[in-house]
C-alpha cells in the first residue's frame, strides 16, 4: 500500500462528503438559519438596548455557534451508517483516523466555515464594536474546528442509536465549555481593545490537541458502535 494512495483516499473522502452535502442544500442551510434565529431571539427576549446587547454579544454569538454545530453534527456519520459505507471504510486498509479526519474536515467546511462568514453580520445585529470583529473571526476560525472534532467523538458514540440527538448534546456540550470560555472572553477583551494573544494561544492549543486526539477516539468509538 503505497503512501500516495492514503492521501488520495483522504482527498477522495473529503470530495465525496462535500459533494454529498452540497446535494442536499437544505441540510447545510438549516443549521445556519438556526444560528441566525437564535442570535436574533436575544434582543427580543432581553432588551433591544445597545449597551446591554454589546456586553452580551460575544457570549450569545458563541453559544449560538455551539448549538448550530451541534445540530449539524449528526450528518457526519448518519447517512454513511445507514447505507453501510461506514462499514466499508472500517474495512478499508487505510488507517481509520485519517479517513475520519477527512469526514470531519468535510463537515467543518460545510458547517463551521459558513458560520465564520455569517458571524460579522450577527455582530452588527448585536452592536458588537467594530474592533472586536477580527477577534470574533479569529476565535471562530480556531474554535469551530474544535467543535467539529470533539463533536465527532460524541456522534461516533451515538451513531448506532435511534434517538441519539439529545444524548449527543449531553455528551458533547460539557467538552465544549473550555472553547466557549476562551473564545467569548477573547471577543469581550478585544471589545475593550486589550490584547487577546493569551486567549488565542489557548484556543490554538485546544485546536492542536483536538486535531491530534479526536480522530483516534472517533475511530475507536466507530469501531465499537459498529460491532
Partner 1 sequence: MWSFFHRLASPKHFYLFANRIIPWLGWSTLITFIIGTYLGLFVAPTDYQQGESYRIIYIHVPAAWMSMFVYMIMAIAGGIGLIWKMKMADIIASSAAPLGAAFTILALITGSLWGKPMWGTWWIWDARLTSELILLFLYLGFIALQSAIEDRRTAANACAILALVGVVNIPIIHYSVEWWNTLHQGPTVTRFGKSAMATSMLIPLLTMFLAFKLYFGTTLLMRARVEILERERDTTWMKKMIMGSDK
The reply on whether position 164 binds partner 1 by CB under 8 A is: yes
How far apart are the two ends of the chain, measured CA to CA in Å?
A: 26
Cβ–Cβ under 8 Å, residues 180 and 140: no
Cβ–Cβ under 8 Å, residues 71 and 173: no
The reply on whether position 120 binds partner 1 by CB under 8 A is: no
**Interface residue with partner 1, options 72, 111, 139, 185 (CB under 8 A):** 185
Cell of 177: 465549555
Which of these segments, 50-58, 77-85, 91-99, 158-166, binds partner 1 (CB under 8 A)?
158-166
Smallest distance, Å, CB 78 to partner 1?
Answer: 16
Q: List CB contacts of 212: < 8 A, sequence separation 6 or more.
A: none
Smallest distance, Å, CB 44 to partner 1?
Answer: 26
Cell of 140: 471562530
CA 200 to chain centre: 17
The reply on whether position 202 binds partner 1 by CB under 8 A is: yes
Cβ–Cβ under 8 Å, residues 176 and 73: no
The reply on whether position 96 binds partner 1 by CB under 8 A is: no
Query: Could you list the residues that contact partner 1 (CB under 8 A)?
Result: 153, 157-158, 160-161, 164, 167, 170-171, 173-175, 177-178, 181-182, 185, 202, 206, 209, 213, 217, 220-221, 224-225, 227
Amino acid at each position: 500500500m503505497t503512501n500516495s494512495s492514503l492521501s488520495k483516499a483522504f482527498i477522495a473522502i473529503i470530495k465525496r462528503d462535500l459533494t454529498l452535502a452540497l446535494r442536499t442544500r437544505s441540510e447545510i442551510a438549516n443549521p445556519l438559519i438556526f444560528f441566525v434565529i437564535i442570535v436574533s431571539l436575544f434582543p427580543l427576549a432581553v432588551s433591544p438596548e445597545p449597551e446591554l446587547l454589546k456586553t452580551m454579544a460575544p457570549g450569545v454569538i458563541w453559544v449560538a455557534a455551539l448549538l448550530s454545530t451541534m445540530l449539524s453534527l449528526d450528518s457526519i456519520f448518519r447517512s454513511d451508517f445507514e447505507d453501510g459505507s461506514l462499514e466499508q471504510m472500517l474495512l478499508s486498509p487505510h488507517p481509520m483516523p485519517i479517513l475520519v479526519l477527512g469526514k470531519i474536515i468535510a463537515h467543518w467546511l460545510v458547517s463551521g466555515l459558513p458560520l465564520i462568514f455569517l458571524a460579522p453580520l450577527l455582530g452588527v445585529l448585536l452592536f458588537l464594536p467594530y474592533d472586536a470583529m477580527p477577534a470574533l473571526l479569529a476565535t471562530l476560525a480556531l474554535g469551530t474546528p474544535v467543535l467539529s472534532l470533539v463533536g465527532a467523538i460524541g456522534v461516533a458514540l451515538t451513531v448506532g442509536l435511534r434517538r441519539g440527538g439529545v444524548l449527543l448534546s449531553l455528551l458533547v456540550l460539557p467538552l465544549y465549555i473550555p472553547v466557549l470560555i476562551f473564545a467569548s472572553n477573547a471577543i469581550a477583551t478585544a471589545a475593550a481593545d486589550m490584547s487577546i494573544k493569551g486567549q488565542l494561544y489557548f484556543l490554538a492549543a485546544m485546536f492542536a490537541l483536538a486535531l491530534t486526539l479526536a480522530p483516534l477516539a472517533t475511530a475507536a468509538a466507530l469501531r465499537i458502535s459498529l460491532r
